[in-house]
A and B are shown apart, each in its own frame.
Chain A
C-alpha cells in the first residue's frame, strides 16, 4: 500500500537502526513529543533496536491525557443535562473524571455519541434543532482547524443549538515548559509530524535556538521514527543545532495556511491547565469574542463541585518524561485499561496504554 508499506519495510528499518548504532559515540536522551509516535515505537518494538546509548523519553503529546479533569467533569455534567446530545471523538469516552467517565454517563442514560468529525456534530445539531448539541473539542493544533471550521459553519448557517467544549492545547509552550525545568535531561526532540502539518515548524526554530536543542519534525511509521532519531543524533554528535524536517512528504516549513487562517479566525491563544502538569502560560486556545456564543462552558453554567484525582496516579510525571509507566506502582495492578486511574492508561496515545498493550512487564 502506498505511503505505508515503504515506511514499514523491515530491511530499511534494519539499515536505519544500523546507521544509528554506527553514528553514536556518547549517550543521548531524546524526547518524542507525540503520543502517536510513542505508540508506534512500542507497537513496532523499535526501542529494542536502538543502541543502549540512545534513550527515548515519552512526551506529553497526548491531548486526551492532558485535557484538564475539570473539563471531563464539565463534559459529563453537560451530557447529563436534559435533551443534550454530547458528541466526542471515541478516545475521550473512557477517560476517567473525578467520579466517572463519559462512557459511564452513557451507560446511565446520557445521550453521548461518538463522531469521527466535528462537522458530523454540526449535522446532528441541524437534524435536532430543538436539542442542544455539544462537541468536545479536544486536541493539539492538529484538530483545531476542523473544530474551527465546525464553529465557522455553524455561525454561517445559524446553527445556534451547536456549541463546543474547548480543550485545545499547543505544543511549543509545552516543549518550553519541559526545557525550562531544572531537571530537564532532554537533549533533542522528535517534533510531532501531524501538528507540524498544520502549523509548519517556524515556531520551533526559536525554541531550538533558545535552548540549544536539535529538533527534527518526524512522522509516525517505523522508518520515519528511526530516520528522525538518526537525523537528531547526527546533529548531536556534530554539535549542530537546527530544526530539520524528516516528514517532508507531508510537512513544510510554513504549514497549511488556510488551516491556520481558519483557526485564527475562530480561536485565540489562552491560558491552559494541563492535567497532571499544571498551568502552562499561553498554551491553549479559546473561542474569540465573535464566536463566544458557541462556547459550551459559557452556555451551560455548570458547577462541577470538588475535583479529585486518585493520589496513586503519576500521569503528570509520565507525561513530562520524568517517569516511565513501569515505574508506577499502580501500573497493571490497580490501574489497567479496564479500570484506569488516569488518562494515559486509556488513551490510544497514552504512554501507559502503549506499555500495557505492547510491552512485556
Chain B
C-alpha cells in the first residue's frame, strides 16, 4: 500500500520496475506529463487513475478528481488542457444512480475546465474487485509556456497557490466518520485558470507542480532532487485553515504531507513575486530556491527553529499517544 503513497516508496517502485523498461527522453524527465512537438504543435500528454474511497465526499466525488486531476497534470506542463479520454472500470452491483451522479460531475468539471471528453471505454468486473468504480483519464493539451524542473534557478521564489491539506483531511474524516465543527471539503479544482492568469500577466513561470499524494513535501523534495538545488521554506507562511490544522493536530498528521487536489507550487523569478501574489489572492510566498547544490529542503518552523522537510516514506500513519 505504501507504494501508492506518493513518497519515497512510490518513487522507488517506479524507478526499479518501470523506468528501466520504458526509458526514453520524454519519460526520463519524470514530469507529470510528457511534452513533445508534432508538426508545429507543442503538445502535452498525461494520464492518471482514480481509486479513491469513498466515491463521493464533501466537495466532490471521484469524477471531479478524474477530470481535474488530468486537467491539472497538463496545466502543470504549462499546457492548456483540450481533450480527455476516460476509461471506467465498474464493479458489478454499482448503483446506476451513483454512476450518473459521478458522470454528471465529470461533465460539469469538464465544462468548468474548458475541456471535452472525446473518447472513452467501459468495463465491468466482478463484485468485490473495484471498490465500486475506478476511473482512468488521459489528456492532451497545447503547450503555452515551457515549464520544467531544469528551469528552476537559485533565487527563484516558491509560491504556493492556496491553503493546504483540505482534500486529504476530507477523505480521511469521511472514511473514519470524524466530524468537525467547521465543515471541511475537498479542494478539487481545475488549475489551468490560475496558471493562464499568471502567464497572461507576463510571469515567466519556471516550474509548476501540483500537490497531490505526498503533499507539498513530496513535490518540493522531488524537484530539489531533480534539480539538485536546496530550498528553504518558511512554515509560518504556508496557509492552512483552522479546521485542517485542528484535524491534523488531533490525528498526528502534518499538513505539509497531506494530499491536495486543487493546489500547486510555482517557481518563478523573485522579481515577479509581488505581481504573482496580486494575480493569485489566496497564494503565499512560501520560500526560496537556494544557491546550494544539495537536494535538501530546509524548513524554518513556526516557532523560529530550523529543521529539514524530509520526503515521506510510505503513508502517514496517525500516532498512538
Contacts and interface: CB of A to CB of B under 8 A. Distances in A.
Interface of A: 1, 4, 8-10, 13-14, 36, 42-46, 48-49, 63-64, 89-94, 103, 106-107, 114, 116, 138-140, 142-143, 194, 222-223, 336-338, 348-349, 356-360
Interface string B282-321: 0000000000000010000111111110100110011111
A333 to B, nearest CB: 15
Nearest to B308: A360
Interface stretch (B114-122, B142-150, B242-250): B242-250
19 contacts: A8-B303, A9-B303, A10-B303, A13-B303, A45-B304, A48-B305, A49-B305, A63-B320, A90-B319, A91-B317, A103-B1, A194-B321, A222-B301, A222-B305, A223-B303, A338-B12, A349-B319, A356-B310, A359-B307
Given A45-B301, A338-B8, A360-B296, A94 B307 contact: no
Given A91-B317, A139-B320, A13 B252 contact: no
A142 B320 CA distance: 10
A1 B305 contact: no
B155 to A, nearest CB: 22
Contacts of A114: 317-318
Contacts of B310: 356-358
A338 B313 contact: yes
A44 B303 contact: yes
Nearest to A142: B321
A356 to B, nearest CB: 7
B1 A338 contact: no
B242 to A, nearest CB: 6
B224 to A, nearest CB: 13
B245 A1 contact: yes
Contacts of A48: 305-306
B115 to A, nearest CB: 37
Contacts of B236: 10
Nearest to B251: A116
Contacts of B320: 63-64, 89-92, 138-139, 143, 348-349
B51 interface: no
A348 to B, nearest CB: 4
Contact of A337 (B304, B307, B308, B313): B313
A170 to B, nearest CB: 14
A135 to B, nearest CB: 12
B52 interface: no
Interface string B184-226: 0000000000000000000000000000000000000000000
A272 B61 CA distance: 49
Nearest to B305: A45
B9 interface: yes
Contacts of B126: none
B236 to A, nearest CB: 8
A59 to B, nearest CB: 15
B176 interface: yes
Contacts of A92: 320
Given A8-B302, A9-B303, A222-B303, A94 B308 contact: no
Contacts of A14: 304
Interface in B2-48: 2, 8-9, 12
B302 A93 contact: no
Interface string B238-280: 0000100110010110000000000000000000000000000
B305 A44 contact: yes
Nearest to A46: B305
Nearest to B313: A337
